[in-house]
Chain A
Amino acid sequence: MIEKFKEAFREEAAELLTNLEQTLLELESDPRDPETISSVFRTMHTIKGSSAMFGFDDISKFTHEVESVMDLLREGAFIADRTLIDLTLRARDLITALLAGTTEEHSAEASRLVQEFRTYVSARREAHVAELDASVELPLGSEKSILEIEADASRENGGGPDGASYADDSDPADVAALETFRIRFVPAPDVLMNGTKPLLLLDELRSLGEISITALTERIPPLSDLNPECCYTGWEMTLTTARGLEALRDVFIFVENSAELSIRKVVLESGAGDVKRIGEILVDRGVTTAERIRSVETTRKRIGELLVEEQIATSDQVKSALSEQEHLKRLKEKQDLGTASIRVASEKLDALVDLVGELVTLQARMASTAQNLHDGTLSSISELFERLVSQLRDNTMSIRMLPIGSTFSRFRRVVRDLSSELGKEIELVTEGADTELDKTVIEKLNDPLVHIIRNSVDHGIELPDERAAAGKSRNGTVTLSAMHSGAYVLIKVKDDGGGLNTESIYAKAEERNIIAPGTSLSEQELFHLIFAPGFSTAKTVTSVSGRGVGMDVVKRQIDSLGGSVSVESKRGEGTAITLKIPLTLAIIEGLLVRLDREYYVVPLSVVDGCIEHRREELAGAGKGRNILTYRNEVLPYVSVRDLFDVPGPPPAIEQIVVVNALESRIGFVVDQVIGDYQTVIKPLGRMFKHVEGLSGATILGDGTVALIIDVNRLAGTAQREEALRVQRDRDGNGTRKQ
């Protein structure tokens, strides 16, 4: 039993330490922020308390030392500098290592760090002695008792039960300290003519906290009545910030005389209960009265539409109120996080997804049975069932979705450490951190992203002097962004470095025999050479990168996720690598094909096109080699029938599915292409795990099993077999000649 608790502690501590890294980096950029300092202290305090409780004495003892320093910081004895952040980051790494078990090396590092912390504190004490309050005791010298520290923390947490760890970095107390404002800003029509840029103002507001912005666009007239220099747009915003009303007013200081501006504090409902209803928000805003809301509530339409129809509120007003409602809901979710969320083992979630997959399959089967039987009652039940199942599927999938931000925050440390190691000044900017992606996909993205970011920092961004000489700022920027694009998420790593050097890529590829001498390549093809195995243009092998492994691993891992990688680069301006990743791995869009009486699914993401052919024509065209002409290009093709030893004669007219596999295109010959198919992926049983060329299975509506083709592996197998065949032919010819 205790092992179970210990494991839970390890998990929670690991999560706290991940957040701590982020908080420390924030502290480095804003060393005086009391919230951040308190957050670091609380994390240390929680880890210390919990580790002692579960018998991790080494961690508890070591964390106590760090916590004491953080307590001093909290008391304002000194201000955090880079050295302290470095030390604390090392301490954080050590605690992470200690969670896995204590070794002699760890103990030595712990003693070293404690000594360094002590030396640091005394040095800072001497430097700040004049400013220090004489009553402040230095715990590392004088052993401030743990009890005292606990009492402090207990006070800070509102005297609540201590030792409990928080599930995320935003503790409910922080949220309570925030204020929410409703802002209405309608600039004067001539605002654009006097050079004011409303978007900059919105950007400034956004920097104050979490904001929901709704544009009021109803005053925009049709094009023929519009004065292009006039501003017809206004905004309603809901902002949650810790910076207070004054900071908010400051943003509008230059425009408030020539704009309609109102800022009102939103009173949040305390305690349990739902977020404010849309009608309540509109009454609150003075748009209408509670009586009028009640009168329209009796009908069964959506209230927003009704209010607009009845001209009680304009669509802009309803849209803005809805946006506020969403904002408040998010805020409430954050407040409730401590109590309203539970930790569930990921295996349980996987099992749930699996069951839902079964249900989707069963539902498809029921629908097809109902259709075949022409049974009206069964059909209507089936339709109801379908609606429920699709809701259940969407809900279950959404449970697996996590914001990618947790992964992003890890890279700030990577960039920080690496850039200082290389003597570069680099900032990591992240965008779209709240973009959600399947948790399995997120986990698998970590390594490829580390490779790409390390490459950008090492090879992409130039040294400060080189940048200055090129007329750039000394500071380089790596931008990591994520955004949705249909059923995919685009993750882009962009640097403002020197860009890819196409000549040196070409020369290196030639030298490494990746391309034949004199091959003519397009710019895109040249860029893609960086993903070739064994490719590296670094002149020296560093500990950072330049070993020639990395980008090919990136490509392989992204391929295995069903995604793709693209490169854009401009000499002197930088490089951007974009990963296109499917939202989930549990369901894919597939192309259903038939071979004899068996069905197979080819992932649609790799399909380039389909063509039809007569078997004898194709056999004649290649003169013994399996090649075909597709869109003016000569491509190899392979018969899936032959590869899978499917019995029976092939049809006279076959179809070829052209897929992108292994850096090139290849045609798979099948009997018939049936069409696209939403494929719920089921893993193959243990017995079939190692079958070459198959990655899983799915169950079709009529209960038939269709196998999912692993395009890359199948293409690899085909290439190997083709090479063997050519070799055999050659050997055969050689023998005859002798």
Chain B
Amino acid sequence: MVVPKVSVKVVTWEGYPTVEKAASLRKELLAALEKNTQVVLSFSLLDGMDISVLQLLRAAYLEAQNRGKSFHLTGTVKPELARILVLSGFVRQRNDNARELEKEIFGPVFPESVAL
């Protein structure tokens, strides 16, 4: 039996990356997805991010799906970043657990509707 080789890369971003850094962050994620089967991005050291960096998260998820790999978020979300995620409309409720937010950030999920 052939056991598929699993390699996990944890990418850690820090500070408050904005559009000026988006190109290099994109490159970093692409390289990680190229070489590994699973890429995990840690939010713990992030103070915030602008919309260009937020877009990278969904783009990385789509990229991973296209390549048959996986992309996940992990770590604690600092309060300012939690605020930004809600303000940007990517996330509906503040939460400090990045893992619990990935479904919302990666793509449209339907909230429980009041009256469908």
What is the interface of chain A, defined by CB distance below 8 A to chain B?
A: 192-193, 197-199, 202-203, 206, 213-215, 217-218, 220-224, 226, 228-229, 231-233, 235, 237, 274-279, 302-305, 315-316, 318-319, 322-323, 325-326, 329, 431-432, 435, 481, 483-486, 490, 492
What is the interface of chain B, defined by CB distance below 8 A to chain A?
A: 19, 22-23, 25-26, 29-30, 33, 50-52, 54-56, 58-60, 62-63, 65-66, 79, 82-84, 86-90, 92-97, 100, 107-111, 113-116
Sample of 7 A–B contacts (CB below 8 Å):
A193-B19, A226-B55, A229-B22, A233-B51, A315-B108, A315-B110, A483-B94
A348 to chain B, nearest CB (A): 27
Contact B55 A275 (CB under 8 A): no
Contact A223 B62 (CB under 8 A): yes
Separation of A135 and B98 alpha carbons in the complex (Å): 63
CB-nearest residue of chain B to A205: B87
Residues of A within 8 A of B82 (CB): 483
Contact A302 B55 (CB under 8 A): no
> Nearest 7 CB-CB pairs, A to B?
A213-B89, A315-B108, A228-B22, A215-B89, A223-B63, A222-B62, A222-B63
Contact A214 B113 (CB under 8 A): no
Q: A199-B88, A232-B55 are in contact. Are A483 and B113 (CB under 8 A)?
A: no
Contact A483 B96 (CB under 8 A): yes
A591 to chain B, nearest CB (A): 22
Contact B108 A275 (CB under 8 A): no
Contact A485 B95 (CB under 8 A): yes
Separation of A630 and B80 alpha carbons in the complex (Å): 37
Most buried by A among B51, B60, B63: B51
Contact A302 B89 (CB under 8 A): no
Residues of A within 8 A of B26 (CB): 223, 226, 228
CB-nearest residue of chain B to A218: B108
Separation of A276 and B50 alpha carbons in the complex (Å): 34
Q: Which of A233, A274, A329, A484 contacts B55 (CB 8 A)?
A: A233
Separation of A198 and B90 alpha carbons in the complex (Å): 13
Q: A304-B113, A315-B107 are in contact. Are A224 and B96 (CB under 8 A)?
A: no
Residues of A within 8 A of B100 (CB): 486
B24 to chain A, nearest CB (A): 9
Q: A329-B114, A483-B96 are in contact. List 17 more A-B contacts (CB 8 A).
A: A193-B19, A199-B51, A213-B87, A215-B88, A217-B58, A223-B30, A223-B33, A224-B63, A274-B114, A278-B113, A278-B116, A315-B108, A318-B108, A319-B109, A322-B111, A325-B115, A484-B94
Separation of A508 and B66 alpha carbons in the complex (Å): 60
A403 to chain B, nearest CB (A): 13
Q: A202-B87, A217-B107 are in contact. Are A483 and B50 (CB under 8 A)?
A: no
CB-nearest residue of chain A to B25: A228
Q: A202-B89, A226-B26, A319-B108 are in contact. Are A303 and B116 (CB under 8 A)?
A: yes
B71 to chain A, nearest CB (A): 9
Separation of A393 and B34 alpha carbons in the complex (Å): 47
Contact A237 B89 (CB under 8 A): yes
Contact B94 A192 (CB under 8 A): no
B80 to chain A, nearest CB (A): 10
Contact B79 A483 (CB under 8 A): yes
CB-nearest residue of chain A to B100: A486
Residues of B within 8 A of A278 (CB): 113, 115-116
Contact A431 B97 (CB under 8 A): no
Most buried by A among B33, B54, B84, B110: B110
CB-nearest residue of chain A to B58: A220
Contact B110 A192 (CB under 8 A): no
Separation of A222 and B58 alpha carbons in the complex (Å): 8
Q: Which of A228, A274, A435 contacts B52 (CB 8 A)?
A: A228
Q: A228-B56, A485-B95 are in contact. Are A492 and B50 (CB under 8 A)?
A: no
Contact A206 B87 (CB under 8 A): yes
B68 to chain A, nearest CB (A): 13
CB-nearest residue of chain A to B62: A222
Q: A223-B63, A229-B52, A431-B83 are in contact. Are A485 and B88 (CB under 8 A)?
A: no
Contact A304 B110 (CB under 8 A): yes
A413 to chain B, nearest CB (A): 24
